[in-house]
């Protein structure tokens, strides 16, 4: 029934107590002590190993369970390495700086909140990181809104919505790559499939932000002017910097696998970068490993452009390995199975498994406050249920993004929620009602699940 077979069959009470213990460890560590998720996950793994030893399961079986769990993330890990290289290459070639610059050119005297949302979308897709987008251009927009006496809550909602649109739809995003890899769905097929729920959420959000936008003329745009001037001074803004983007899109439509696509795009971006700046072979190798270093002198720009490299992926890779290893133990010890078997009779139709997966992803975000775990554990727990309901795995990959990736910033004690509140100085409870894109995504994914629209079903030979 499950990819990793259980060695024991614990009672539902035991399973729930262990889950609650893990939730307590994660929540206290992240919320109270501000720890990164790595250590509390490692502590949770130790708790599960102790439980396994108490149940007289050999350490070899427990170790195999962790290895089986981690093995599911190997595809994502290899892609992460190429993502780190690609980001560095796109910085060298000026692609990401040029995309950001074009975004800033769209600033209009009217529809401020809608423009903030759309620019954050562009930057989010270009950078592939919601938190980086929020901490850089987001801070600039908050400063503008404050100077013009506009609503900081709505501005923050627009920033968060756009940033997490990018985190969800960018081929450079770690969560996007993780979701597609865990479900063994082609990266670009995954992104195209997410468009069914993402595009309506994007359009509705844009309309809502436009309606809420003031009609008065914008003033105090010095921060944006500073951004544009600093970007121009990098000498990275060129029309041919968009060639790698065009290549990326073409190969995506041609359904070229992710790793060759990322590798070829990186190579082209490096060649363009060598035309812009005569890097030595040593410098290129250093940038690809350590990341691109921006030295404009403007803190916000340097923070935005100093990115990429293999090194930048190590923390994410470590977190994925730890989380998947913990997931492997949860299955080996029969904990997930015990809980799912209790409610299995409720998870037979497509709409019920989609609602169940979405609720689980939201629940993990709410209880633990960790984005990766909401994706990893929900994906692992519901793969078999989706297959039984006749649904292709790309549906589950979409659900965990719609209800996992974009929900995390809505939780005040989550990793993203705490970070965003800190950098924007706007409490999560205040921007929550205006983070339209983040609110609409899980609603739309459940709605389409109930109607059956946009779902992909298994063929007879796949079921």
pTM of the model: 0.75
Domain locations along the chain: 12-68+326-451, 75-313
SS3 per residue for 128-140: CCHHHHHHHHHHH
Q: Report phi then psi at 161, rounded to 5.
A: -60, -50
Q: pLDDT at position 1, please?
A: 37
User: What pLDDT is attached to residue 46?
Assistant: 95
3-state secondary structure the chain: CCCCCCCCCCCHHHHHHHHHHHHHHHHHHHHHCCCCCHHHHHHHHHHHHHHHHHCCCCHHHHHHHHHHHHHCCHHHHHHHHHHHHHHHHHHHCCHHHHHHHHHHCCCCCCCHHHHHHHHHHHHHHHHCCHHHHHHHHHHHHHHHHHHCCCCHHHHHHHHHHHHHHHHHHCCCCHHHHHHHHHCCCCHHHHHHHHHHHHHHHHHHHHHHHHHHCCCCCCCCCHHHHHHHHHHHHCCCCCHHHHHHHHHHHHHHHCCCCHHHHHHHHHHHHHHHHHHHCCCCHHHHHHHHHHCCCCCCCCHHHHHHHCCCCCHHHHHHHHHHHHHHHHHHHHHHCCHHHHHHHHHHHHCCCHHHHHHHHHHHHHHHHHHHCCHHHHHHHHHHHHHHHHHHCCECHHHHHHHHHHHHHCCHHHCCCCHHHHHHHHHHCCCHHHHHHHCHHHHHHHHHHHHHHHHCCCCCECCCCCC
Q: What is the pLDDT along the chain (463 residues), one digit of tens a residue?
A: 356 788 888 998 998 999 899 888 888 887 778 787 889 889 999 999 999 999 999 999 999 999 988 887 777 788 778 888 988 898 899 888 887 788 777 666 578 899 899 989 988 888 787 877 887 678 778 867 776 778 899 999 999 999 999 889 988 888 888 888 888 888 889 999 999 999 999 999 999 999 998 866 666 567 677 778 888 888 888 989 889 888 877 887 777 777 888 889 899 999 999 998 889 999 999 999 999 998 877 777 787 788 788 988 888 788 778 888 888 898 899 888 888 777 666 667 888 889 988 988 898 888 777 788 888 888 877 888 888 888 898 999 999 999 988 998 998 877 788 788 877 888 888 999 999 999 999 999 999 988 888 888 877 555 4
């Amino acid at each position: 029934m499950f990819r990793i077979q259980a060695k024991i069959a614990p009672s539902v009470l035991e399973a729930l107590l262990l889950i609650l213990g893990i939730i307590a460890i994660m929540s206290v560590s992240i919320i109270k002590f501000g720890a990164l998720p790595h250590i509390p996950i490692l502590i949770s793994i130790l708790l599960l190993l102790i439980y396994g030893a108490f149940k007289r399961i050999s350490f070899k079986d427990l170790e195999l369970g962790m290895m089986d769990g981690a093995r599911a993330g190997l595809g994502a890990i290899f892609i992460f390495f190429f993502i780190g290289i690609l980001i560095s290459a796109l910085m060298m070639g000026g692609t990401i700086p040029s995309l950001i610059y074009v975004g800033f050119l769209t600033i209009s005297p009217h529809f401020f909140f809608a423009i903030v949302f759309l620019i954050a979308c562009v930057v989010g897709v270009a950078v592939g990181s919601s938190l980086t987008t929020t901490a850089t251009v987001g801070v600039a927009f908050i400063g503008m809104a404050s100077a013009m006496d506009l609503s900081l809550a709505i501005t923050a909602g627009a920033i968060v919505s756009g940033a997490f649109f990018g985190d969800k739809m960018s081929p450079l995003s770690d969560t996007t790559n993780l979701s597609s890899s865990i479900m063994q769905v082609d990266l670009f097929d995954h992104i195209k499939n997410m468009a069914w729920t993402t595009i309506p959420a994007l359009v509705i959000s844009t309309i809502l932000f436009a309606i809420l936008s003031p009609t008065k003329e914008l003033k105090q745009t010095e921060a944006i002017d500073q951004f544009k001037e600093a970007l121009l001074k990098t000498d990275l803004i060129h029309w041919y910097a968009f060639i790698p983007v065009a290549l990326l899109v073409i190969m995506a439509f041609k359904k070229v696998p992710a790793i060759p696509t990322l590798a070829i795009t990186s190579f082209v971006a490096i060649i363009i970068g060598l035309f812009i700046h005569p890097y030595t072979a040593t410098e290129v190798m250093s940038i690809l490993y350590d990341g691109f270093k921006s030295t404009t002198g403007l803190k916000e720009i340097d923070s935005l452009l100093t990115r990429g490299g293999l090194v930048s992926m190590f923390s994410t890779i470590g977190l994925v390995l730890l989380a998947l290893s913990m997931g492997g133990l949860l299955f080996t010890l029969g904990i997930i199975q015990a809980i799912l078997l209790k409610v299995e009779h409720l998870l037979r139709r497509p709409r019920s498994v989609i609602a169940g997966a979405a609720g689980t992803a939201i629940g993990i975000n709410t209880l633990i406050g960790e984005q990766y775990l909401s994706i990893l554990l929900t994906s692992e727990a519901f793969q078999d249920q989706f297959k039984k309901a006749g649904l292709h795995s790309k549906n589950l990959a979409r659900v965990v993004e719609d209800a996992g990736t974009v929900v995390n910033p809505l939780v005040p004690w989550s990793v993203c929620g705490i970070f965003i509140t800190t950098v924007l100085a706007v409490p999560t409870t205040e921007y929550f009602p205006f983070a339209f894109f983040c609110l609409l995504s899980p609603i739309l994914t459940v709605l389409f699940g109930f109607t059956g629209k946009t779902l992909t079903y298994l063929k007879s030979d796949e079921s």
